[in-house]
Structure 1
């Protein structure tokens, strides 16, 4: 998988998690632990995206 396609996939997953998080936060019945897990997943994806964008050895 090329770097560009890997970044696209990570960005797509980040967007998916962001939408899930938005939906979860709009439902009062949603478990706080699930919301925290989504936030952590979103942050992990963002960190990986930033790492790949900023690491010249990955290009």
Structure 2
């Protein structure tokens, strides 16, 4: 399996963003620190991370 650098970078950054959004949700749940608007930000980050992973996986290899 061959991936060019842009595809690899997109996948890795997408996974990092997904981990960040999961950490925000878990931190908000366990700490109960009344900062609920971070959960909405994490939903946006989860969507962005998922799009980046899908983009990296389905990117054309002829670049």
TM norm. shorter chain > 0.5: yes
Task: Give the deviation of 1:6 after TM superposition.
Answer: 3.2
Q: Deviations over 1:2-48 (max 9, x none)?
A: 12133123212321221222111223223222211112111211122
From the two aligned structures, give the one with the greater helix fraction: 1
Unpaired runs of at least 5, structure 2: none
Higher-Rg member (1/2): 2
| Residues 52 and 15 of structure 1: CA distance in aligned 2, closer, same or farther (over 3 Å) | same
Q: How does 1:1-59 map to 2 (within 5 A)?
A: 2=5, 3-55=7-59, 57=60, 59=61
Q: How many residues align?
A: 57
TM-score, normalization by structure 2: 0.63
Q: CA RMSD in A?
A: 2.2
Gaps of at least 5 residues in structure 1 are none
| Contact 2:18/2:46 (<8 A) preserved | yes
